[in-house]
Structure 1
Amino acid sequence: MKVYNLEEFATKYNLKDIYGAYAAHFYVNGEEGDCFSDFDTYEDDSFYSMFAERTLFTKLLLVQRGSCLLQLHEDDAEQSVQLTAHDMLITTLNEVASVSNFSADFEAEGILVDESFAKQAQRYQLNDTKYKSISDIFHFVCDIVRHQHINKIEMIRSMFNVLRLIIDELPYEQCSVSRDLGHKKEVYEVFLHHLYRNYRKERQIRFYADKLNVSPAYLSRLVKEISGSTINEHATSLVYKEICNLLTQTDMTMGEIADHLNFSDQSAMTNFFKQRSGMTPLAYRNR
Structure 2
Amino acid sequence: MKVYNLEEFATKYKLKDIYGAYAAHFSVNGEESDSFSGFDTSEYNIFHCMAEERTLFTKLLLVHEGSCRMRLQGNNTEQSIQLSAHNLLITTPHEVAHIEQLSTDFKAEAILVDENFAKQVQRYQLDDTKYKSIADIFHFVRDIVRHQHINKVEMIRSMFNVLKLIIDELPYEQCSVTRDLGHKKEVYEVFLHHLYRNYRKERQIRFYADLMNVSTAYLSRLVKEISGSTINEHATSLVYKEICNLLTQTDMTMGEIADHLNFSDQSAMTNFFKQHSGMTPLAYRNR
Band of TM-score, shorter chain: 0.5 to 0.7
Write the letter of the residue equivalent to 2:143: D
Task: Indicate which of 237, 244, 256 corresponds to 1:221.
Answer: 237
Write the letter of the residue equivalent to 1:221: S
**Taking structure 1 as reference, are residues 6 and 32 closer, same or farther at Cα in structure 2, changes over 3 Å only?**
closer
Write the letter of the residue equivalent to 2:91: T
* Residue 173 (structure 2) pairs with residue 173 (structure 1): yes
Displacement of 1:189 in angstroms is 3.7
Deviations along 1:38-79, whole A, 9 cap, x unmatched? 332333511101111111100000011000111001133210
Deviations along 1:176-224, whole A, 9 cap, x unmatched? 9xxxxxx8654324467xxxxxxxxxxxxxxx43798449x97572499
Partner of 1:143: 143
**Taking structure 1 as reference, are residues 231 and 130 closer, same or farther at Cα in structure 2, changes over 3 Å only?**
farther
* Residue 203 (structure 2) pairs with residue 187 (structure 1): no
Question: Aligned with 2:102: secondary structure?
Answer: coil
Q: Greater helix percent: which structure? A: 2
CA distance in 1, matches of 2:6, 2:29: 22
Q: Which runs of 5+ in 1 are unaligned?
A: 177-182, 193-207, 233-287
Deviations along 1:11-37, whole A, 9 cap, x unmatched? 01110000000000000111357x844
**Taking structure 1 as reference, are residues 65 and 185 closer, same or farther at Cα in structure 2, changes over 3 Å only?**
closer
TM-score (norm 2): 0.64
Partner of 1:280: none
* Residue 116 (structure 2) pairs with residue 122 (structure 1): no
Contact 1:87 1:124 in 2 (8 A): yes
**Taking structure 1 as reference, are residues 67 and 100 closer, same or farther at Cα in structure 2, changes over 3 Å only?**
same
Where in structure 2 are the equivalents of 1:233-272 lying within 5 Å?
A: none
Partner of 2:198: 209
Where in structure 2 are the equivalents of 1:21-170 lying within 5 Å?
A: 21-31=21-31, 36-38=35-37, 39-170=39-170
**Taking structure 1 as reference, are residues 64 and 71 closer, same or farther at Cα in structure 2, changes over 3 Å only?**
same
Question: Aligned with 1:101: secondary structure?
Answer: strand
Partner of 1:3: 3
Contact 1:184 1:222 in 2 (8 A): no
**Taking structure 1 as reference, are residues 137 and 79 closer, same or farther at Cα in structure 2, changes over 3 Å only?**
same
TM-score (norm 1): 0.64
CA distance in 2, matches of 1:175, 1:152: 34
Write the letter of the residue equivalent to 2:141: V
CA distance in 2, matches of 1:49, 1:211: 52
CA distance in 2, matches of 1:211, 1:89: 34
Write the letter of the residue equivalent to 2:128: D
Question: Aligned with 1:158: secondary structure?
Answer: helix
**Taking structure 1 as reference, are residues 190 and 144 closer, same or farther at Cα in structure 2, changes over 3 Å only?**
same
CA distance in 2, matches of 1:145, 1:79: 33
**Taking structure 1 as reference, are residues 224 and 158 closer, same or farther at Cα in structure 2, changes over 3 Å only?**
farther
CA distance in 1, matches of 2:240, 2:122: 32
Contact 2:90 2:118 in 1 (8 A): yes
Write the letter of the residue equivalent to 1:149: H
**Taking structure 1 as reference, are residues 223 and 48 closer, same or farther at Cα in structure 2, changes over 3 Å only?**
farther
Contact 1:59 1:111 in 2 (8 A): yes
Write the letter of the residue equivalent to 1:78: E
CA distance in 1, matches of 2:110, 2:16: 13
- Percent identical among aligned pairs is 64
